[in-house]
Amino acid sequence: MTVHLLWIINQSGQLIAKSSFTAPENIGELGAKPDLQLTMSSILFSTYGMSQELTPNANPVDSAGMTLVECEEHNIHIYETPTLVKFVLVSDSRTRECNALFRELHSLYVEYVMKNPFHIVDEGGIGQPIRIAAFTGAVKRAVDRYHAAGVLTATRK
Amino acid sequence: MWFLKPTTRNKVEVVLLVINFCCCCCCCFFCCRQARTEPLFTAPPSHVNASCQKSRCILSKCHLDSLPSSLALLEGVGMTLYSIYIFNRYGDNIFYMQWNRTSAVQEGEASLVAGFIYTLQHLSSQLSSSGTSGLRAVQTPFYKLHYAETMTGYRVALLTCRNVSTALVQGIFIEMFRDVFHKTLTRDLNYRHEPGCMITNPDFAEGLEALFRSKQLLE
């Protein structure tokens, strides 16, 4: 129940926000080289489109991209809003789903980013990174509450 | 306007889409290899990529009411197999088989699957502290893609419904490579492990289906 990393990718495929919640060594090379996250987030955006193309046995109009990538040490959770903004969470491999946390992060995004009159969402197809200190603080508090809830659950088990 | 485009795509557009994805991935890997700092304000993807993805996503939201019924159908059927791809170390698609699939196989789909699993494997190896590739499964609301790789470079991608457990399929993959693959291909003197050699031994397909039947994935 540990969340290591949060990415927010806009509809053009640009990384507009990233937050780390644990030590950098928990996410391997992405922690050692933070600039690599820009490249890997674009790659994840492309693979999201690929996963839609590969859907067998479905109405071609109904296409949904990947929601969970299971790796040996991590799980990558992806949540797409109706406005095509993608929230990506990298967690440990024991975390099965993060839907409640995604909804909370989406609410924080609406409250702190969308309602900010000085934040430019997408100017001529080029997105602006989210540099709002209140949003960053709120995200960290939400993830800390999530970690605390996870600890309680683990203790109860 | 993107929403006026027809939902069915002709072959040229699909091929362009595939080429576009491949170019996008190659470009990203090139940047990664050069170890340059990529600027935060990158050019947006091409019109075809963006418009196709946007149209599909928004239309999917319009059909949000149909999602529960689709998922209920999938849940009711039980465990379903769609297709399997096997690639050798050179990236060639040496084996393909499909079972309960109703959508047509798109042109170049094997290459798309190969690029897809290679990209995610690369991403997962960069996340892991040991540096090894640890990709196991990719889950979407409609299907689940299971992945395994041998030390000799053979990769298998199995598309199933989303009910199938990852641990079950990983065990099946181990049995497949240890028993079926070994008996029908490694010991086959006529099969050469070289670029472009397809698996034409019918015993492999029969052994694979027998293995899936023993695990109740096929009836």
Evaluate whether B45 touches B27 at the Cβ level (below 8 Å).
Answer: no
Answer yes or no: is pLDDT of B37 > 60.
no
Q: Is A120 on the interface with B (CB under 8 A)?
A: no
**A-B contacts (CB, under 8 Å):** 197
Cα–Cα distance measured from residue B128 to residue A25, given in angstroms and rounded to the nearest whole number: 9
Whole domain around residue B150: which residue ranges? 77-215
Domain tally for chain B?
1
Distance from CA of A17 to the nearest CA of B (A): 11
- In-domain check, residue B72: no
Residues 6+ apart with CB under 8 A from B166: A70, B136, B137, B146
Number of compact structural domains in chain A: 1
Examine residue B54 and state whether it is found in any structural domain, yes or no. no
Q: Which of B123, B125, B146, B173 to probe by mutation at the A interface, max A CB count within 10 Å? A: B123
Q: What are the tokens at A34? A: 């933070």
Tell which wins on pLDDT, A11 or B74. A11
Q: Do B116 and A57 touch (CB under 8 A)?
A: no
CB contact under 8 A, B38 and A38: yes
CA gap B119, A47 in Å, rounded: 7
The pLDDT score that the predictor gives to residue B64 is 39
Task: Report the CATH number that the domain containing residue A8 is assigned in CATH.
Answer: 3.30.450.70
In a domain, B83, yes or no: yes
Whether residue B146 is contained in a domain is answered as: yes
pLDDT grade, residue B137 (50/70/90)? very high
Chain A residue at shortest CA distance from B109: A54
Arithmetic mean of pLDDT, A34-57: 86
> What CA dihedral angle connects B168, B169, B170 and B173, to 10 degrees?
130
For residue A70, give the chain B residue with the closest CA. B137
* Partner-chain contact B45 A51, CB within 8 Å: no
C-alpha distance from A51 to closest chain B C-alpha (Å) = 8
- In whole angstroms, give the CA distance from residue A42 to residue A45: 5
CATH of the domain at B111: 3.30.450.70
Residue B131 in any domain: the answer is: yes
Range of the domain at A68: 1-153
Q: What is the mean pLDDT of residues B5-29?
A: 43
Average pLDDT over all residues of chain A: 84
At B201 the pLDDT is: 86
**Considering the domain boundaries, does residue B61 fall inside one?**
no
B208 assigned to some structural domain = yes
SS (H, E, C) chain B: CHHHCCCCCCHHHHHHHHHHHHHHHHHHHHHHHHCCCCCCCCCCCCHHHHHHHHHHHHHHHHCCCHHHHHHHHHHHHCCCEEEEEEECCCCCEEEEEECCCCCCCCCCHHHHHHHHHHHHHHHHHHHCCCCCCCCCEEECCCCEEEEEECCCCCEEEEEECCCCCHHHHHHHHHHHHHHHHHHHHHCCCCCCCCCCCCCCCHHHHHHHHHHHHHCCCCC
Kindly state whether residue B164 falls inside one of the protein's structural domains. Answer: yes
Question: Where on the phi/psi map is residue B199: left (φ > 0), alpha (ψ -120 to 50), or beta?
Answer: beta
Residues of B in contact with A69 (CB under 8 A): 120, 123-124, 135, 137-139
Looking at the predicted structure, is the pLDDT value of residue A33 above 80?
A: yes
**Chain B residues with beta carbon closer than 8 angstroms to that of A29:** 126-127
Whole-number pLDDT of residue B29: 39
**Distance from C-alpha of A34 to C-alpha of B136, rounded to nearest angstrom:** 25
Q: Is A63 on the interface with B (CB under 8 A)?
A: yes
Which of B32, B103, B106 faces A58 most closely, judged by CB atoms?
Answer: B103
